[in-house]
Chain A
Amino acid sequence: MHLTIRHETTYSYDQPVPYGLQQLRVRPKSRPGQTVLEWSVEVEGGAQQLMFEDEHANSVDLVSFDPDQSQVTIRSFGTVDIEDQGGVIGKHRGHVPLWLFQRETDLTEAGPGVARLIHQLDTGGSDLDKLHALSTLILREIPYSTDQNSAELTAEQALKAKHGVCQDHAHVFVTAARSLGFPARYVSGYLMMDDRVDQDATHAWAEAHVDGLGWVGFDVSNGISPDARYVRVATGLDYHDAAPILGLRVGGGTETMKVALQVQQ
């Protein structure tokens, strides 16, 4: 599938920001099943300082704000060709040892909520069956809802809240999968929802490493494994590793963020 994507994030501040930096993980990379035909990143109100590849082979831009800006816009756009691979990413690559994907992070710390979740899980069947069952169970326990405010929740907090967004689903999935002994990671990317061009937000899902298959994707929020409508942009242990934009600034007062995202064929 040939997807055209345009992703624009605008940050506005009450007061001018004397100094600010942002780490962007907004460049999808070509890999088996995903071919990036063209891609650009533009910054308004700031400048690209450098680019590097992080430990998860994500392409990272470091951007600084121009002095005393009160608005900064990050625009990334391009076209990507995706093949449906039934959610299978395949063999683990790179220097990051698989055991690292079994590490808990602040956002993915297993507590009583995850223990209860696993207790309810039907652990019969193959590894793949188990993980699909986990995905289904999580969506039942935490129905999708955008009602709550956008505060960042840990996996345990999301389980307690009983409703959540894709980010929460992905966190709960990787936390529980790690508890079950699977290396698991968080994926940030784009999804073309069939019924619309303007998407609400960027998407997030999870991948678990299964013996024999390698990495396999699970989109808890939509109850499926990623297909030709999914563009993988960045991966990591949790949201903090893979977030599209992570920032740090001095001053500026209150921040408001506006996202405009179009994904279409």
Chain B
Amino acid sequence: MSGESHFDEMYGRDGKTRGPYSEYCGWLSDEDVSRLRKKSVEAETLFRRTGITFNVYGMEEAAERLIPFDIVPRIISGREWSRLSKGIEQRVRAINAFLHDIYHGQEIIKAGRLPAEMIAQNDAFLPKMIGVTPPGGVYTHIVGTDLVRTGEDDFFVLEDNARTPSGVSYMLENRETMLHMFPELFSKVKVQNVSNYPRMLRRSLGRSVPDACDGGPTIAVLTPGIHNSAYYEHAFLADQMNVELVEGHDLRVVDGRVAMRTTRGFKPIDVLYRRVDDDFLDPLNFNPESQLGVPGIMDVYRAGGITIANAPGTGISDDKAIYSYMPDIVEFYTGEQAILKNVPTWRCSEPDALKYVLDNLADLVVKEVHGSGGYGMLVGPAASKKEIADFSKKLEANAANYIAQPTLSLSTVPILAKSELAPRHVDLRPFVLVSPDKIDITPGGLTRVALKKGSLVVNSSQGGGTKDTWVLEE
């Protein structure tokens, strides 16, 4: 497993409190654990009341399970953050340039830096996006770059989540809860604000209006509906941005625009923040069975009548095989070396790589190329002999469907366990807003924590929890 050598963000490797945590730990040493435990229970009640829940697929009896919240914050210094932000911004710029290229001249393929099969065999590649330039040239209006840390200066990007990253409502609610429960702490420790995210999101979306927009931009959030696992977040964001929350059946094509039904007739939408997957977005152009989408929206989009955020077809950059080319992609489009590291990745489609992976399964993490949510993956060091043998068979049967990575020794941050603090592995999903002239990154993001001792899987669908993430003022 991670061994004893992991880096703890509060206590380093040597047990000495690290700088960013000094003020917090000073406060903590005056607190007693039983008061904190009480606070923790209080926090849970608060969450239940606000109703943040997360529907886990395949667990109907627990359809509305609460994601556990841990009250010990994860703290990042201002200096660490500014380096991370630069790296994220560089990567997000590269991804947007890559998407534009892939749907236009495909220069990166012509230059021999990316094999054509990586796109040709990629289900997320949408031919209907070929030749389409979205308003302002922005493909990924909202990105949730997943980062992990393995040492003082070692950050890796784990996933780019350029499709429809979720979780920002947890970031906001976590902070809200901490402010409510520990107001005195925030006067001691200067933490950068995250609560303006909905306002920033609204402003950022409003800067990517289509040509057809006249006057103040009309923005709406498109949700698949109440049965979707992230419905709460859709409703929350619409409410916080003060824009309409709509479903497919509320919208139709009117006068060449996508318009929503209102009490005063149809009103055209300029920017649609959609939380409906590409395949379900438009039954006229994609999956004809879809009841969730808006027939013809893709046509309005191609005619310049609406902004769809994120653009259809951005999923190709989420593909884990494409991920393995990300250092080349960053270099190709920015002319710079990538600031943030990629996790070394073996593409099992390549025979040599497959052989290595099969020989070393017990040490590797193997993931499906299009997988997400921690489903269908193998964590070698945590797997039994039988699980490894079974997985070998799956791997051999469909090698191109998998990539493998070394098991990273993820950093830990303590959680409040029963009666004491105990280290648990974490990752970080900062939220990035892209508009034609600007990239905004909310300081912090969503810290996910594996609540089980030693576990490296932080996904909420696999028993992970969350923490408030603090970026200190410089």
Q: Say if A and B assemble together.
A: yes
Chain A CB count within 10 A is highest, among B106, B129, B296, for B296
Say yes or no: is A115 at the interface (Cβ < 8 Å to chain B).
no
Chain B CB count within 10 A is highest, among A23, A54, A246, for A54
Residues from chain B with a CB closer than 8 A to the CB of A94 are 131
Contact: A50 with B303, CB < 8 Å? Answer: yes
How many residues on chain A are close to B (CB under 8 Å)? Answer: 23
Residues from chain B with a CB closer than 8 A to the CB of A97 are 106, 109, 116, 119-120
Say yes or no: is B206 at the interface (Cβ < 8 Å to chain A).
no
Q: State the CA gap A55–B132 with chains docked (Å).
A: 8
Say yes or no: is A11 at the interface (Cβ < 8 Å to chain B).
no
Contact: A52 with B303, CB < 8 Å? Answer: yes
- Of A52, A54, A95, A248, which one neighbours B295 at CB under 8 angstroms? A248
Closest to A236 in B: B127
Chain B CB count within 10 A is highest, among A52, A103, A246, for A52
Known: A50-B303, A52-B299, A95-B105. A62 touches B253 (CB 8 A): yes
Contact: B130 with A23, CB < 8 Å? Answer: no
Q: State the CA gap A100–B120 with chains docked (Å).
A: 7
Residues from chain A with a CB closer than 8 A to the CB of B300 are 49-50, 62
Chain B interface size band reads 20 to 34
Q: How far is the CB of B296 from chain A (nearest CB, A)?
A: 5
Contact: B284 with A50, CB < 8 Å? Answer: no
Residues from chain B with a CB closer than 8 A to the CB of A54 are 128, 302
Encoded as 1 (CB less than 8 Å from any A CB) or 0, chain B from 287 to 317 comes to 0100000011001101111000000000000
Residues from chain B with a CB closer than 8 A to the CB of A96 are 127, 130-131
- Of B116, B119, B284, B305, which one neighbours A248 at CB under 8 angstroms? B284
Residues from chain B with a CB closer than 8 A to the CB of A172 are none
Say yes or no: is B333 at the interface (Cβ < 8 Å to chain A).
no
Contact: B303 with A51, CB < 8 Å? Answer: yes
Q: State the CA gap A97–B120 with chains docked (Å).
A: 9
Q: How far is the CB of A100 from chain B (nearest CB, A)?
A: 6
Contact: A95 with B103, CB < 8 Å? Answer: yes
Residues from chain B with a CB closer than 8 A to the CB of A246 are 284
Q: State the CA gap A265–B75 with chains docked (Å).
A: 79
Q: Which of A58-90 contact B (CB under 8 A)?
A: 60, 62, 64
18 extra A-B contacts, CB within 8 A, seeds A62-B300, A99-B116: A23-B284, A49-B255, A50-B299, A50-B303, A52-B299, A52-B302, A52-B303, A54-B302, A55-B132, A62-B256, A62-B296, A64-B253, A64-B296, A95-B130, A96-B127, A96-B131, A246-B284, A248-B288
Residues of A within 8 A of B (CB): 19, 21, 23, 49-55, 60, 62, 64, 94-97, 99-100, 103, 237, 246, 248
